Amino acid sequence: MTSPVRAALVGFGYAGRTFHAPLIAACPDLRLSAVVSRQAEAVADAWPGVRGLASYDQALADPAIDLIVLATPNDLHAAQAEAALKAGKAVVVDKPFTLTAAEARRLAALAEARGLLLSVFHNRRWDADFLTVQALIAEDRLGPVVRFASSFNRYRPEVRDRWREGDGPGAGLWYDLGPHLIDQALVLFGRPLGVSCDLANLRPGGRAADYAHAVLRYADKRVILHADMMTPAPEARFAVHGARASWLKTGLDVQEDQLKSDWTPGAAGWGVDPRPGVVVDGATGAREAVAERPGDYPVYYSAVARAIRDRAPNPVPPSEAVAVMEVLEAGLLSAERRAEIAL
């Protein structure tokens, strides 16, 4: 019997605690061996029997650790991933990959030179709604897509005291939700010709962008990506318009809420969205509810384990994460110049 890949999770904030720890623990080919965090008591309460480490260096020096999972603030990703690769560890980095495209390219080159797995946790490739629209487009249910609108909105009018909403590097909504929206667009349509982006801080007392609206220009379509923190009715998620039909979807994927409710990933009912999207026929106006494909975050870490152990394909290779960073960086430059940035 093959031994599981032994993982050390670095960071036990929201991302580490809610997403990475339970998904790693639920994967039979992985073992959550250690957690690096200053919250020793919280780690021990949540994961008794898992070693708590006080410093990142301890994880890097431990020969029993095969995989480093970085769920740390965005501005630490590049340096921590580089250190892990140089220590001979496989690495998973929570999105965003880095702060700049140059950092992302440098890490990708280092991983290739060392022959080590480097992957980025673009988990929303496995959202139920995204898997469904991906299938609809592949099956040509809508006809050629001419307009694709993807929105990820929240209602949080009060600014929270946390690094994601501060004024430090890598803070703000474009770095937080932008990578999800961009990655999904690139999976479906590839690299755009240009990016136009508007970033704003609309909440009183806000210190980072809490509004992001980007248009990705393709030769035959426009892709509209939107996120903000001031939408009291945040139901709209996708509006995909093809030459023959549209697909409309409300509500966010359920897996994050299931993880927050301590569901075991992969259990009965996992990832099942009770709010199906609707296909609207362009010629007749007829509306047809389309059953959602179940969301499947657990597949990411299963693929990571196979990639490390069996040299199977990386579920999110560095080249794809670099492409996301290039679009994200173009969006920042576009907002600064108030002009489209060609890619």
Instruction: Give tens-digit pLDDT for 268-309.
Output: 999 999 999 999 999 999 999 999 899 999 999 999 999 999
Does 139 share its domain with 161?
A: yes
Contact assessment for residue 265 and residue 303, using Cβ atoms and an 8 Å cutoff: no
Question: Do 129 and 275 have their domain in common?
Answer: yes
Task: State how far the Cα of 101 lies from the Cα of 326, in Å rounded to an integer.
Answer: 5
Here the tokens at position 80 are 């921590």
Mark whether 66 and 152 lie in a shared domain.
no
Structural domain boundaries enclosing 289: 124-296+327-342
State whether 67 and 112 are in the same domain.
yes
- Which of 6, 47, 12 is closest to 27 using CA atoms? 6
Q: Is residue 321 part of a domain?
A: no
**Per-residue pLDDT tens over the stretch 173-209:** 999 999 999 999 999 999 999 999 999 999 999 999 9
How is residue 28 annotated by DSSP? T
pLDDT in tens, 66-104: 999 999 999 999 999 999 999 999 999 999 999 999 999
User: What's residue 165's pLDDT?
Assistant: 83
Q: What is the DSSP string of 79-116?
A: HHHHHHHHTT-EEEEESS--SSHHHHHHHHHHHHHHT-
Q: Give the CA count within 13 Å in the CB-facing half-sphere of 2.
A: 11
170 closest CA partner among 258, 32, 73? 73
Q: What is the mean pLDDT of residues 317-337?
A: 98
| 195 and 257 both lie in a single domain | yes
Give pTM, 2 decimals.
0.96
Omega prior to 28 cis, within 30 of 0:
no
Tell me how far CA of residue 66 lies from CA of 16, 60, 229, 262, 309, in angstroms.
Answer: 18, 9, 38, 26, 10
State whether 23 and 113 are in the same domain: yes
Q: From residue 277, give the alpha-carbon distance in Å to each of 203, 221, 227, 240, 287.
A: 31, 21, 20, 11, 10
CB 215 within 8 A of CB 222: yes
pLDDT, residue 1, reads: 57
Overall number of domains in the chain: 2
CATH number for the domain spanning 60: value is: 3.40.50.720
Report if residue 322 sits inside a domain.
Answer: no
β-partners of residue 94 are 121
Judge if 87 and 161 occupy the same domain.
no
Distance CA 208, CA 173 (A): 8
Give the pLDDT of residue 2.
Answer: 81
Residue 67's DSSP bridge partners are 7, 90
Residues 99 and 77 occupy one common structural domain: yes
Q: Write phi, then psi, for 121 (nearest 5 degrees).
A: -80, 75
